[in-house]
Amino acid sequence: MTRAPLADAASASRLDTTVRTWAQQWTASALLGIEHQALPDDRGHHHWLLRLKGNEKDVITLWLSLRQRTVHAESEVVPAPEENREALYKFLLVKNAELRELHLAIGPEEGIYLQGQIPINELTVDRLDEVVGATLHYVDEIYPTAMSLGLPALYRRRKKI
């Protein structure tokens, strides 16, 4: 088994090129913007923030973090639930079994996130496209039910036009 190489400045540069090349393929209506933290954080991780236009959730934010050997992808689906936790968690566990490339997780503030880990040398433009596409699809699919269950006072489903 070959392990992914350790991340370095060249890895950050390659990932930035991959993100920018990928961005050129997306239409202006779906990709709202990209931000990149040029310097690593206190743990040595480089970060990219992709803002995407969702259908059910107005803005879907996907964080990409270059870690030691992987690119960590993360997107908040919904904030911490205030009601119906058991029903919501049951729904999410069942849904989690259907997901490909990403998985659902409870974050430090008890929000619900989609997360995934991709070895550094496997993150190509095509693989990034799959991760972004999966993020858009899964968030738009899960968001209405998760909000209706966990935060019903804050959510009213959109009417289809």
Where residue 47 falls among pLDDT bands split at 50, 70, 90? very high
- Looking at the domain assignment, is residue 31 inside a domain? yes
> Cα–chain-centroid distance for residue 11?
20
Where residue 2 falls among pLDDT bands split at 50, 70, 90? low
Q: Which CATH number covers residue 60? A: 3.30.1460.10
Give me the residue label for tokens 């990219």. 48
pLDDT at 52 over 80: yes
- Looking at the domain assignment, is residue 160 inside a domain? no
pLDDT at 82 over 90: yes
Tell me what pLDDT residue 25 has.
Answer: 85
pLDDT at 1 over 70: no
- Looking at the domain assignment, is residue 157 inside a domain? no
Provide DSSP, 11-39.
HHHHHHHHHHHHHHHS-TTTEEEEEEESS
- Looking at the domain assignment, is residue 158 inside a domain? no
Domain count across the chain:
1
Least confident span in 6-20, 113-127, 147-161: 147-161
- Cα–Cα distance for residue pair 84/137, rounded to 1 Å: 24
Tell me what pLDDT residue 3 has.
Answer: 61
Containing structural domain, residue 16: 9-152
Give me the residue label for tokens 């995407």. 52
- Looking at the domain assignment, is residue 161 inside a domain? no
Give me the residue label for tokens 């095509």. 126
- Looking at the domain assignment, is residue 142 inside a domain? yes
- Looking at the domain assignment, is residue 80 inside a domain? yes
C-alpha distances in Å from residue 1, one per residue of 4, 124 = 10, 20
Q: Which residue has better confidence, 38 or 93?
A: 93
Find, among 80, 152, 151, 63, the residue nearest to 114 by Cα: 63
- Looking at the domain assignment, is residue 1 inside a domain? no
In this structure, what DSSP letter does residue 7 have? P
pTM of the model: 0.88
The mean of the pLDDT values for the chain is: 90
- Cα–Cα distance for residue pair 56/146, rounded to 1 Å: 12
> 2-33 burial string, b = 16+ CB within 10 Å, else e?
eebeebeeebbebbbebbeebeeeeeeeebee
Taking every pair of C-alpha atoms in the chain, what is the biggest distance, in angstroms?
51
Tell me what pLDDT residue 159 has.
Answer: 54
